[in-house]
């Protein structure tokens, strides 16, 4: 920035403080306001000089008092503008006062016969013209020389001698100065405006350029990193399913888990950049919240049980079963918080509480994850949600992680109209809570409400958090619940109150475990009535036949979900059993049983990368699906055209980025009948390494039926085949 630009920009900042609400003015009005305020401000400043000179020369003469009076007018106009905020009013008033001043000058100079009548009206025109054409550098030199000559004229005693000729000269000089004054102020503001505009344009261009580069970099990296990963993970998956020695199996396991951590890291970085680039899609679909959080808690339970930590899920404050929003992003945030809670906890419980509050637009969902872990120092709480921050440098060495999870979580919450907070005490534990705004679902899920249970329910669990949560979850269905923490206490209670509807027993209890308590109940002298429900560790669900022989009616895995409790409650109402076993809305269920169609499904995989072709072929093969491989769109057309019967190929997995003809063009060609009429409507699943906003829409717009990202996730592949390819096949009998 040049010196003049810096000078004018600084002046603008000072003068903007005199303008009421400058940010609310249009650029044109802001310019006018700056011009007006600038003229008044400089007139005020220079008038001080005038008063001083006049006072020194003539004392309190009429001229000095006039100048003092002008000072009040300038100040009055500035103050009125600040208070009235009316730019037009003040501009009109300033012009009116200027005209009055011109008229008085003409009058005192001899009335209508005055020569001033010829040149005074030129004053505004000349100022405007100079303001328009004059360069700022010239203006500054002019003002300096004018001030200098005024000083000299005063020094020579010319300005204050009241001789006619000199008076006229003095007036002409004053007016020239005033004219230049307006011009200079105009030029200064014009320069300031231009400087600001130039600066803004440069910044805007830079930002646009950086944004473009970032997006391009992101798309390229996404593709480049994920493509080889498809090969690495796929091959490791296949290797681990083959015959290996224990040592080889162990090595493959280590390689797989390292590859998975690296993939998670890549995904985190991509996610973060996607959000930063504003390319994160937030979906709005109906979902069942009980099912979603039940699935999340169950999925995390394996990780927790390997550290002997119990996850407890409390959803009893959910006011409605389903909502409309983005379940995958909610899953991502919750999974991250639970995973951190498990990671930073040695012993104890991770309590996940889900609540909803109806509001004007639908509901606010609040999810809290409370742990009994190492906690976070108070001074670090503020920085946690910044990217790449961990509580201390040793965290990543000891616990792993990138320090991006919470930053992503915060941005996702904000994208969904909510936020995330944390409270924590070192050595005691932390609670992370987030909120998101959700809409009401288009189709409300059927909650299969039960009739109230009239009998007693007894719950035995040594973990007080789990115990009170299960009690709360059941309280809407039953009013007679007894919660006990010890097996011997439970046995005494049951002996005294032998008539019960349901008895929930925790498997893992100290001194007397669940099985021992069940045996004691069965062998009790006073017969104890009630369906026995064993709550066991998720990794230990085998042996159901044995349990049935022991009289256990139901064996449910911990964490206890809404679905499990419904199953248990249904034991008391056998007529509802069928409904409860088959919940109406099961969006996340992954069908893995494709054996019904064994070897009947043929899927054409089109990908230019030979490793990816091999991986896809092996994955399909492991599900007894027959892969047909093509390394380009042209080869795919050849295969399809040489087998015109639709039954030959049932679906196509199509890579999007391929040389010569990409997946989008190939799909459009198939839809236009280029591969034969019998394949016009064949299911096509896109396979792409990019996971950018708009990719899905692009695939769907090209005529593809669904979308998979690399590296291929087996469960998703099976789900897509199940939902898209299988409905079009007639099973052979």
Backbone angles phi, psi at 439, to 5 degrees: -95, 170
Binding of ligand ADP at residue 341 (CB under 6 A)? yes
Binding of ligand ADP at residue 384 (CB under 6 A)? yes
For residues 427 to 466, the per-residue mask of contacts with ligand ADP, x marking binding by CB under 6 A and - elsewhere, is ---x------------------------------------
Written as six digits, the tokens of 218 are: 């992101």
Question: Cβ of 533: how many Cβ atoms within 10 Å?
Answer: 23
> Which of 192, 321, 327, 405 is in the footprint of ligand ADP by CB under 6 A?
405
Range in contact with ligand ADP (rule: CB under 6 A) among 175-183, 387-395, 600-608, 725-733: 387-395
DSSP state of 596: G
> Which of 395, 495, 657, 678 is in the footprint of ligand ADP by CB under 6 A?
395
Our CA dihedral for 723, 724, 730, 731, rounded to 10 degrees, sits at -50
Residue 619 to residue 443: CA distance in whole angstroms: 36
724 — alpha (psi -120 to 50), left (phi > 0) or beta?
alpha
Minimum distance of ligand ADP from residue 429's CB (angstroms): 7
Residues written for the chain: 733
Minimum distance of ligand ADP from residue 273's CB (angstroms): 15
Minimum distance of ligand ADP from residue 292's CB (angstroms): 21
Binding of ligand ADP at residue 374 (CB under 6 A)? yes
Written as six digits, the tokens of 254 are: 């280590």
Query: By CB under 6 A, how many residues form the interface with ligand ADP?
Result: 20
Q: Which lies closer to ligand ADP via its Cβ, residue 179 or residue 372?
A: 372
Residue 511 to residue 487: CA distance in whole angstroms: 8
CB 484 within 8 A of CB 464: no
Contacts with ligand ADP in 510-549 (CB under 6 A)?
none
Residue nearest to ligand ADP (CB): 401
Binding of ligand ADP at residue 495 (CB under 6 A)? no
Binding of ligand ADP at residue 605 (CB under 6 A)? no
> Which of 51, 376, 413, 613 is in the footprint of ligand ADP by CB under 6 A?
376
Our CA dihedral for 288, 299, 553, 562, rounded to 10 degrees, sits at -30
* Residue 33: Cβ-neighbour burial (10 angstroms; 0-12, 13-18, 19+): buried
> Which of 303, 402, 433, 468 is in the footprint of ligand ADP by CB under 6 A?
402
Binding of ligand ADP at residue 370 (CB under 6 A)? no
Q: Which lies closer to ligand ADP via its Cβ, residue 313 or residue 376?
A: 376
Range in contact with ligand ADP (rule: CB under 6 A) among 54-62, 318-326, 336-344, 561-569: 336-344
Residue 702 to residue 525: CA distance in whole angstroms: 73
CB 721 within 8 A of CB 593: no
> Which of 322, 349, 390, 463 is in the footprint of ligand ADP by CB under 6 A?
390
> Which of 53, 195, 391, 552 is in the footprint of ligand ADP by CB under 6 A?
391
Binding of ligand ADP at residue 403 (CB under 6 A)? yes
Q: Which lies closer to ligand ADP via its Cβ, residue 318 or residue 420?
A: 420
Q: What HEC string does 310-349 produce?
A: EEEEEEEECCCCEEEECHHHHHHHHHHHHHHHHHCCCCCE
Range in contact with ligand ADP (rule: CB under 6 A) among 216-224, 399-407, 471-479, 691-699: 399-407
Binding of ligand ADP at residue 561 (CB under 6 A)? no
- Tell me the DSSP string of 271-292: HHHHHHTT------EEEEHHHH
- Which residue ranges make up the site for ligand ADP (CB under 6 A)? 336, 340-341, 344, 371, 373-374, 376, 384, 390-391, 395, 401-407, 430
């Amino acid at each position: 920035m040049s010196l003049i630009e810096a000078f004018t920009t600084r002046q603008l900042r000072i003068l903007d403080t005199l303008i009421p609400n400058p940010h609310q003015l249009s650029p044109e009005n802001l310019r006018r306001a700056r011009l007006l305020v600038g003229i008044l401000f400089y007139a005020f400043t220079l008038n001080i000089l005038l008063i001083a000179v006049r006072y020194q020369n003539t004392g309190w003469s009429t001229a000095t008092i006039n100048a003092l009076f002008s000072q009040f007018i300038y100040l009055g106009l500035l103050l009125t503008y600040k208070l009235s905020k009316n730019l037009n009013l003040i501009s009109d008033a300033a012009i009116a006062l200027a005209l009055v001043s011109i008229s008085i000058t003409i009058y005192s100079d001899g009335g209508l016969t005055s020569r001033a009548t010829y040149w005074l009206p030129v004053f505004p025109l000349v100022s405007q013209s100079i303001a328009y054409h004059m360069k700022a550098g010239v203006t500054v030199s002019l003002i300096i020389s004018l001030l200098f000559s005024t000083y000299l004229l005063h020094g020579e005693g010319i300005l204050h001698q009241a001789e006619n000729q000199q008076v006229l000269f003095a007036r002409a000089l004053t007016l020239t100065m005033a004219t230049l004054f307006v011009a200079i102020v105009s030029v200064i503001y014009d320069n300031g405006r231009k400087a600001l505009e130039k600066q803004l344009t440069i910044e805007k261009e830079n930002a646009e350029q950086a944004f473009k580069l970032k997006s391009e970099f992101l798309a390229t990296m996404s593709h480049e990193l994920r493509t080889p990963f498809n090969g690495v993970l796929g091959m490791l998956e296949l290797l681990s399913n083959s015959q290996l020695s224990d040592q080889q199996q162990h090595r493959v396991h280590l390689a797989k888990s390292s590859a998975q951590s690296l993939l998670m890291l890549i995904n985190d970085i991509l996610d973060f950049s996607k959000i930063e680039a504003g390319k994160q899609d937030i979906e709005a679909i109906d979902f069942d919240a009980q099912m979603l959080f039940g699935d999340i808690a169950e999925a995390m339970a394996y990780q927790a049980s390997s550290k002997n930590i119990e996850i407890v899920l409390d959803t009893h404050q959910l006011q409605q079963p389903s909502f409309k929003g983005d379940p995958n992003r909610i899953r991502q945030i919750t999974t991250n918080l639970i995973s951190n809670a498990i990671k930073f906890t040695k012993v104890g419980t991770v309590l996940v509480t889900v609540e909803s509050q109806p509001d004007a637009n639908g509901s606010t969902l609040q999810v809290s994850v409370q742990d009994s872990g190492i906690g976070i120092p108070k001074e670090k709480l503020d920085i946690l949600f910044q990217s790449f921050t961990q509580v201390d440098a040793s965290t990543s060495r000891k616990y792993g992680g990138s320090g991006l999870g919470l930053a992503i979580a915060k941005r996702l919450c904000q994208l969904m109209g909510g936020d995330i907070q944390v409270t924590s005490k070192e050595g005691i534990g932390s609670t992370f809570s987030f909120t998101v705004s959700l809409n009401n679902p288009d189709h409300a899920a059927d909650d299969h409400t039960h009739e109230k249970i009239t009998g007693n329910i007894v719950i035995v669990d040594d973990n007080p958090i789990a115990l009170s949560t299960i009690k709360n979850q059941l309280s809407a269905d039953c009013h007679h619940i007894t919660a006990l923490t010890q097996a011997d206490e439970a046995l005494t209670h049951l002996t005294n109150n032998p008539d019960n509807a349901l008895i929930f027993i925790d498997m893992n209890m100290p001194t007397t475990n669940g099985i021992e308590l069940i045996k004691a109940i069965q062998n009790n002298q006073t017969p104890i009535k009630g369906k026995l429900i064993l709550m066991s560790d998720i990794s230990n669900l085998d042996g159901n036949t044995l349990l049935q022989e022991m009289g256990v009616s139901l064996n449910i895995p911990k964490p206890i979900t809404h679905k499990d409790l419904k199953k248990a409650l249904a034991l008391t109402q056998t007529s509802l059993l069928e409904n409860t076993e088959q919940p109406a809305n099961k969006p996340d269920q992954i069908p893995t049983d494709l054996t019904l169609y064994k070897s009947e499904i043929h899927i054409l995989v089109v990908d230019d990368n030979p490793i990816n072709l091999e991986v896809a072929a092996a994955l399909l093969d492991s599900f007894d699906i027959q892969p047909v491989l093509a390394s380009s769109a042209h080869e795919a057309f050849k295969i399809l055209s040489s087998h015109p019967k639709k039954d030959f190929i049932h679906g196509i997995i199509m890579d999007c980025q391929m040389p010569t003809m990409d997946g989008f063009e190939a799909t459009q060609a198939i839809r236009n009948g280029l591969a034969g009429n019998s394949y016009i409507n064949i299911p096509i699943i896109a396979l792409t390494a990019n996971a950018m906003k708009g990719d899905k829409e692009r695939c769907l717009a090209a005529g593809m039926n669904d979308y998979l990202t690399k590296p291929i996730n087996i469960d998703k592949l099976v789900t897509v085949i199940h939902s898209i390819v299988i409905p079009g096949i007639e099973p052979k009998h």
